């Protein structure tokens, strides 16, 4: 890892740069595939599935028989673990439900706000070297709680044309209405435009590589909403001598093994801790099955020493980490003052992997600094807010004059007339 001591604020931006491709590098490819899927539907999806996934799929939709076989093949131990995680995720997201907000702003003017589910949502679940069945729970559970009518899941097939059994089990458990063997750019394009097999949806959720991230952003140009621009995983830890070096190293490696383009950073006020963590990383990485991937990510990562907690916090807020672990003697300072982070983990016994799987919080979070302006996925991500109002005769009389004056000042005579006519009718009726 790269060690950096007391970097000046003007260098932070360069030091904290993410190791990802720019949009310009891959946007042309994404646009080309979108155009072809829009025009040719399933034919184009099949073409790119063969090209990118190396498999020919005749029928994208997963059958009931395939689901039943997958459910039967998952071990009882894993089923129990998934069930426990689902229970905690359900509890946390059900607690996010809000009641109707109603207020009489002035006598006779009643306004209220209600949530409605997004009717059709698409869930993108990465496959590849790490089939993320945990992401199925994180997306499908709140979608079902919100009351979404159609929950469509896309995940890339393996070389045999199948989706990982645990993904199918979790999808079946969580109320997914349709499962499709489609991944990558072509999956996002299919959900955007709709094909003979893939339904068009109103909002797309889920993490992915840089190609998927750019595809999701392009989808917004065609009237489809997205959860956030969620790209390669990242973790920042702030720690001092109260932290356990082995724990800190294990957390850094847990994110590094996601992919070669993942980024992990340790910020510390202790040079002693930094040295100890570096040693632990070298020991632990040797035991990892995904050592090669983790090593590439670690090569792009940083150990940053700063003099005090205030400087550390300023640097962290500038970075805006997806995952943020706090393990210091002054945890409350960071908890109270952090402004930009997707999800925060506190103390020696709160590993980031708890949030990835089973604590109950959602692991679909903003990356690439988007924690400065995006929330992680939550129950409200699957709903939209509608406002209502009902005005009585007394109410229109109370606010009518103000409306007339404001409309007249903006030069919108029809707006003014809509009120004037009503006020006159009430006056004439007296």
User: Residues within the annotated binding site?
Assistant: 124, 186, 209, 233, 255, 258, 323, 356, 410, 415
**Binding site members for Zn(2+):** 255, 258, 356, 415
Please tell me which residue in 144, 323, 352, 363 is annotated as part of the active site: 323
Distance CA 249, CA 239 (A): 11
Distance CA 294, CA 288 (A): 8
- Report yes or no: 313 and 16 within 8 Å, Cβ to Cβ: no
For 41, the enclosing helix (H) or strand (E) is none
* Sign of torsion over alpha carbons 344, 348, 353, 356: negative
**Binding site members for substrate:** 233, 255, 258, 323, 356, 410, 415
- Determine whether 323 is an active site residue: yes
Burial 61-95 (b: 16+ CB within 10 A, else e): ebeeebbeebeeebeeeeeeebeebbebbbebbee
* 129: exposed, middle or buried (Cβ count in 10 Å: 0-12, 13-18, 19+): exposed
For 282, residues 6+ apart whose C-beta sits below 8 A from its C-beta are none
Distance CA 358, CA 250 (A): 18
Please tell me which residue in 322, 337, 404, 427 is annotated as part of the active site: 322
- 3-class secondary structure, 69: helix
Distance CA 186, CA 215 (A): 9
For 264, the enclosing helix (H) or strand (E) is strand 263-268
If we measure between CA atoms, which residue out of 330, 286, 287 comes closest to residue 310? Answer: 330
- 3-class secondary structure, 378: coil
Active-site residue numbers?
Answer: 322-323
């Amino acid at each position: 890892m790269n060690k950096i001591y007391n970097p000046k604020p003007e260098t932070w931006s360069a030091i904290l740069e993410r190791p990802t491709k720019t949009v310009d590098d891959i946007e042309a490819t994404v646009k080309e595939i979108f155009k072809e899927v829009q025009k040719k539907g399933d034919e184009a999806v099949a073409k790119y599935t063969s090209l990118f996934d190396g498999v020919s799929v005749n029928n994208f939709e997963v059958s009931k028989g395939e689901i039943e076989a997958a459910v039967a093949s998952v071990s009882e131990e894993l089923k129990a673990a998934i069930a426990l995680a689902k229970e905690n995720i359900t509890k946390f997201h059900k607690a996010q439900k809000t009641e109707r907000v109603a207020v009489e702003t002035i006598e006779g003017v009643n306004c209220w706000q209600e949530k409605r589910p997004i009717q059709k949502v698409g869930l993108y679940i990465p496959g590849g070297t790490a089939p993320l069945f945990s992401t199925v729970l994180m997306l499908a559970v709140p979608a079902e709680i919100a009351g979404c009518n159609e929950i469509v899941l896309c995940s890339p097939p393996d070389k045999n044309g199948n989706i990982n059994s645990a993904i199918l089990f979790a999808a079946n458990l969580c109320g997914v209405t349709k499962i499709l063997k489609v991944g990558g750019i072509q999956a996002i394009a299919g959900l955007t435009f709709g094909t003979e097999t893939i339904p068009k949806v109103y909002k797309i959720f889920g993490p992915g590589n840089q190609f998927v991230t750019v595809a999701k952003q392009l989808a917004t140009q065609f009237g489809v909403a997205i959860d956030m621009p969620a790209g390669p995983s990242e973790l920042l830890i702030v720690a001092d001598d109260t932290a356990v070096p082995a724990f800190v190293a294990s957390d850094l490696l847990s994110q590094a093994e996601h992919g070669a383009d993942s980024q992990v950073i340790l910020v510390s006020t202790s040079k002693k801790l930094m040295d100890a963590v570096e040693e632990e990383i070298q020991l632990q990485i040797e035991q990892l099955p995904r050592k090669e991937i983790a090593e590439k990510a670690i090569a792009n990562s940083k150990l940053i020493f700063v003099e005090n907690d205030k400087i550390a916090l300023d640097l962290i807020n500038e970075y805006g980490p997806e995952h943020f672990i706090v393990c210091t003697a002054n945890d409350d300072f960071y908890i109270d003052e952090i402004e930009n982070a997707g999800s925060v983990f506190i103390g020696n016994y709160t590993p980031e992997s708890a949030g990835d799987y089973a604590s109950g919080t959602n692991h679909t979070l903003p990356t690439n600094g988007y924690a400065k302006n995006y929330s992680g996925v939550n129950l409200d991500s699957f709903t939209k807010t509608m406002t209502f109002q009902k005005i009585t005769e007394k109410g229109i009389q109370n606010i009518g004059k103000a409306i007339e004056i404001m409309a007249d000042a903006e030069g919108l005579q029809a707006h003014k007339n809509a009120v004037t006519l009503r006020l006159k009718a009430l006056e004439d009726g007296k």
